[in-house]
Amino acid sequence: MSHQQAEAFHGIYVATVCPFDAKGEIDATALSNHLEAATSSEGIVGVLINGHAGENFLLSRFEKRRVLEIAHETIGQKALVVCGVNAEASAEAALHAQDVEKTGADAIMVFPPFSWALSQDKTMVLNHHAAIIAACNLPLMLYQASVGAGQMAYLPETLAQLVQLPNVVAIKEGSWETARYEANRSLIKSIAPHVAVMASGDEHLFSCFALGSEGSLVSLAAIIPDLIVGLKHALANADLDLARKLNDRISPLAKAIYGTPPNGHATARLKTCLKLLGRLPHDATRAPIGPLPLEEVKALEQALAAAGL
């Protein structure tokens, strides 16, 4: 992958949710409207669909393909579409990657299987990605899990080999810890400087953007895209006063959604925020994720107000 080809994927992406109707099925109209809204703000270059915020781990293969079809039909001509591939078995992941290529996405993001939180090694990781690369020719984005995700987070020696694989253009760096982000960014840039390091810790965007990034793929941009794009530009232009003001508005919402235990409620909180703002008709999530308690909804209302919404 050339530097020029890789640079085409720089920028801010919205990691979208997957709206469900009252019966728990994919709401195609709501999803189409959500995708239109996600790409309507200046400075947003594309979307990440079928990511963790999109409940990829709770969707069937057919449903994942349907989400991609809707995205391709709705915004495929005006924005980049990155589609997540998340499967425990490498053979299954390869099939999903083929679906993505056939349906017209611009790139694939490979999520580490959840079982790797218990155990994985470098050979397993490389074999998994190699199976996906062999199955399709799309540009590849990697995913670095958080420091709290057990062994899902790649060790430096594993990461160093992953970024040298064919077709890799970027990594969604989700270490969720500033020192690890800095260390991983330095490592990647020393080995594969063309690979974009995309900040993804919604609570740590200020520090990650200040340290350097080629963009971001974050679900918080579904709610406050202008603030996140503005923060990136302010730090790129060394305008610290503006960056601090924007971060003061971003931070309470980021902490309410992602920084409040239990972390597994993040997607439900995103959907509730979008419903409170009138951007989703329903905030239903798939079981075992359940409805939010009333006190959480009230906290989100306060955080939205603090963000100026």
Judge whether 232 and 41 are in contact, CB under 8 Å.
no
Q: What is the pLDDT of residue 200?
A: 86
Is the pLDDT at 1 greater than 60? The verdict is: no
Q: What is the pTM of this model?
A: 0.95
Kindly report the backbone phi and psi dihedral angles of residue 142, in degrees, each rounded to the nearest multiple of 5, phi listed first.
Answer: -95, 170
- Identify which of 112, 111, 38, 32 has the alpha carbon closest to the alpha carbon of residue 68: 32
For 196, the enclosing helix (H) or strand (E) is strand 196-199
pLDDT number for residue 5: 67
- All domains in the chain, ordered by first residue: 3-243 (3.20.20.70)
* Cis bond before residue 262 (omega within 30° of 0): yes
Residue 252 has, within 13 A of its CA and on its CB side, a CA count of 15
pLDDT tens for each residue of 65-92: 999 999 999 999 999 999 999 999 999 9
| 189 pLDDT higher than 80 | yes
Reported as a single tens digit per residue, the pLDDT across 198-209 is 998 889 999 999
